Structure 1
């Protein structure tokens, strides 16, 4: 039986239960799911946070603050649960994070996030030293400020004392487990997102470790989801009795979890994620032989890879717009639902650098076509059209890499709060888009990855979706021209900073 909130009541939940945890850009969250992947009544906890940012590209968060947040979420969730029903605890975090850990097991650095772009000069240096095309084919990652080779080199060169104080290097999720469980490991997807993993072997890449200045003994063991952690401190079961005997899974990257949670769990379905950052991703079998230059490919386990491209700025663009331009009485969704207007400014929405498809780490936003007649609503529309066009550039390379998925599903806060914008995305892509309506698709996916191991024989509840948004034929030519104008502006202003 389900409650009025759409959750299954605890008495009717199918065992085993999973406690899922998520550390995102704006909050730490947790929820409890049953074996069918349904949220259980009485779950869902959230502790808000924010990155510390600065004009020089700084993007950090205190890792011990996040440890405390996750501990609080676990305490609140388990207080309502009986002993013996929770079989697993799973964690995802925003990808490409880095924490230096000292000899005492405590952080000696802040957590550097995927959006920290201060290592731009080191990216440039690495591109002179290495054959970037070969690096991408081997690791699945370009040389970019989002990945760890350049970030570790930047820290070594700019703060050698802090670099030397670190005895090991972890992702944020690994650090959270180390502090709470006394042991840790890197989920395969977490390791892949570093830019230090050989995507074909699933082992740390010697060349990339060498250029980063770290050894394999300073990094965690890499584990597929079917190898949960062992040697968890017995004190954990005493602290949280409801979790006594539960299996703890190595942290995974939020992108992997998001695909699973949105129902994009094979090559027939592409997942379009739109939250603080964004991406278009397809979960494909095995390891693709060759990658297009604009995309990444992350190994997520021994049998699957995640192929796609990412945007630093999606919800971040909305936040910036709302704090910077005056919308008056205009409703943002109504602005996006209006018919396209050729007078709308053209915007390259790179507030914190570009990832896919050009990989210009130092790129910044560009506004074109602004006049004295341009008002706040027009800037809002132009910026969010620019975000949609950025998704279109990723989709074009995905089509070149592997054809057309049968479905495109869209999840995330921006997709749910701005359905008018999602129609623009469908128009830009020239393909139907199916909105996912479940809340917290990433948390849902984090639970599902554990349930693949804990309860493989139990059927999962279907992912709820809204009516499909189809491209409007009358808008097709407008967005084709807009995409060509975007490309021309990009080549004139941004491409000079992008890698060859």
Structure 2
């Protein structure tokens, strides 16, 4: 396999400093005009969400500001002055920070996985026509979106809610702190559940039910409208700072899924299946969302809260001493494997049950730790298959499924489970940090439109095994039976 990276001496200008704030770390790297990562020019600062059994999932926004500043200081060295033409930033989607009059956070950063507003989701569903909301915004009413979160804050912390002068995503807050100005990228705005996907502007009706004024939100900017802002880093003098985008859009672009014929299957802490389309679909299956990402394109797909998070839970809580999980996932399926609904932090696609929790079913005295591990990761794959079935209704039969993300590299044989569950070939993207790569590519569309980009490296295709088709058909039917009885019926 070729080395996707390039030494600094061979890098094509202009360079981009790309930043990614994910669920487990903040990362940064330099990329050249061909979209290649520059060797020995990357930096990572690990972090973790604060979580609780009540559905809490938060992170300190000022901690993230410090992390980004450390990354920029490490990478934007003075000898690079004049070479770095832009800075781009993506973060995990559906984040929220309340900011006071002094420009400092008065709330933690609430993440997409914080499900404490589940009761407010139910109240909104009783008040609003969810189909009409979804047609306007492209999103369901759910705990990962902001209308219910705003209502929850108003009801449970009214004094804090009243003290907020501006509401920002985490990336906007980072920019505000380090640049003194900010804006929200179209994709980041779309992931809030507050954007009119037809106009690209804030939706007045959703702002009203949220109790938020449009003046409390940032200007919405498409990716080709960078901020003109100076920073304290000499190497970034004259660099343009691009509006904050979501990791979902960046992940698609970075994996090479930048056209309607290619589906991206992202598998990190959370996961998704997404396709970038050039039109605005009027009909949306109930399990999917459709986010406007710029003036001409939308991202259609479904998201899963628990992919790498499910694997991490298994590693922390299930005794796997001596178990070769790679071989376990590559083995022939066993009908005695437990059926698992992997909703460790609630469900997004396809049922949008915010207060759903994981279900371990068909467990007997003979069930082993290995069988529980295999059953959980089969459950994750079946969750992707549920999204894929609805995606096909709108996007049709796609030509390629590209898989990327930490789980695909840490557990490559799980991709065989995914291919078998989907009944379709899966191509692994083997470059690391595909999300960071996509963030750089989007900035390069503006900074270096005439430079040919280097294609991503991929590995051998995982083909579905025909003899396993019936097993996964039966397993999917059992999954749906349990879902209807336990999750949908709750």
TM interval, shorter chain, is over 0.9
Cα distance, 1:402 vs. partner? Answer: 1.9
The answer for the alignment partner of 1:116 in structure 2 is: 114
The answer for the alignment partner of 2:446 in structure 1 is: 453
The answer for the alignment partner of 2:219 in structure 1 is: 221
The answer for the alignment partner of 1:181 in structure 2 is: 179
1:378 aligns with 2:371: yes
The aligned runs of 1:335-354 (5 Å cut-off) are: 335-354=328-347
Cα distance, 1:197 vs. partner? Answer: 0.2
Contact 1:91/1:173, CA 8 A, preserved across alignment:
yes
Residues in 1 aligned to 2:38 and 2:121: alpha-carbon distance in whole angstroms = 45
Structure 1 gap ranges (5+): none
The aligned runs of 1:186-335 (5 Å cut-off) are: 186-230=184-228, 232=229, 234=230, 236=231, 239-335=232-328
The answer for the alignment partner of 1:165 in structure 2 is: 163
CA deviations on 1:279-314 (whole Å, 9 max, x unpaired) are: 000000031122111100000000100000000000
Residues in 1 aligned to 2:384 and 2:131: alpha-carbon distance in whole angstroms = 23
The answer for the alignment partner of 2:486 in structure 1 is: 493
CA deviations on 1:435-467 (whole Å, 9 max, x unpaired) are: 000000000000000001111111100110001
Contact 2:4/2:457, CA 8 A, preserved across alignment:
no
Q: SS in structure 1 opposite 2:66?
A: helix
Residues in 1 aligned to 2:9 and 2:236: alpha-carbon distance in whole angstroms = 18
Cα distance, 1:492 vs. partner? Answer: 0.6
- Compute the TM-score of the two structures, normalised by the length of structure 1: 0.97
The answer for the alignment partner of 1:477 in structure 2 is: 470
1:391 aligns with 2:384: yes
- Compute the TM-score of the two structures, normalised by the length of structure 2: 0.99
Cα distance, 1:332 vs. partner? Answer: 1.3
1:132 aligns with 2:100: no
Contact 2:261/2:399, CA 8 A, preserved across alignment:
yes
Residues in 2 aligned to 1:219 and 1:384: alpha-carbon distance in whole angstroms = 39
Residues in 1 aligned to 2:323 and 2:128: alpha-carbon distance in whole angstroms = 50
Q: SS in structure 2 opposite 1:8?
A: coil
Residues in 2 aligned to 1:294 and 1:282: alpha-carbon distance in whole angstroms = 14
Q: SS in structure 2 opposite 1:380?
A: helix
The aligned runs of 1:86-101 (5 Å cut-off) are: 86-101=84-99
Residues in 2 aligned to 1:241 and 1:250: alpha-carbon distance in whole angstroms = 21
Q: 2:412 aligns with which of 409, 416, 419?
A: 419
Q: 1:403 aligns with which of 396, 400, 413?
A: 396
Residues in 2 aligned to 1:249 and 1:286: alpha-carbon distance in whole angstroms = 24
Q: SS in structure 2 opposite 1:309?
A: strand
Cα distance, 1:331 vs. partner? Answer: 1.3
Which deviates more from structure 2 when the two are superposed, residues 323-332 or residues 96-105? 323-332
CA deviations on 1:75-98 (whole Å, 9 max, x unpaired) are: 000127421000100000000000
Q: SS in structure 1 opposite 2:273?
A: strand
CA deviations on 1:356-403 (whole Å, 9 max, x unpaired) are: 000000000111110111111110000000000000000000011120
1:51 aligns with 2:44: no
Cα distance, 1:42 vs. partner? Answer: 2.1
Contact 1:42/1:80, CA 8 A, preserved across alignment:
no
The ranges of structure 1 where at least 4 consecutive aligned residues each deviate by more than 4 angstroms after the TM superposition are none
Give me the CA root mean square deviation.
1.1
Residues in 2 aligned to 1:9 and 1:26: alpha-carbon distance in whole angstroms = 28
Residues in 2 aligned to 1:9 and 1:311: alpha-carbon distance in whole angstroms = 37
The answer for the alignment partner of 1:63 in structure 2 is: 61
Residues in 1 aligned to 2:114 and 2:274: alpha-carbon distance in whole angstroms = 22
The answer for the alignment partner of 2:151 in structure 1 is: 153
Q: SS in structure 2 opposite 1:149?
A: helix
Residues in 2 aligned to 1:139 and 1:375: alpha-carbon distance in whole angstroms = 45
Contact 1:117/1:361, CA 8 A, preserved across alignment:
yes
Residues in 1 aligned to 2:205 and 2:337: alpha-carbon distance in whole angstroms = 47
CA deviations on 1:153-205 (whole Å, 9 max, x unpaired) are: 10010000110110010000000000000000000000000000000110100
**Change in 2 beyond 3 A, CA 1:195/1:81:** farther
Question: What is the aligned residue count?
Answer: 490
Q: SS in structure 2 opposite 1:460?
A: coil
Residues in 2 aligned to 1:214 and 1:5: alpha-carbon distance in whole angstroms = 49
Structure 2 gap ranges (5+): none
Contact 2:4/2:431, CA 8 A, preserved across alignment:
no
Cα distance, 1:41 vs. partner? Answer: 1.7
1:361 aligns with 2:359: no
CA deviations on 1:202-240 (whole Å, 9 max, x unpaired) are: 01001100111001000000000111113x2x4x1xx21
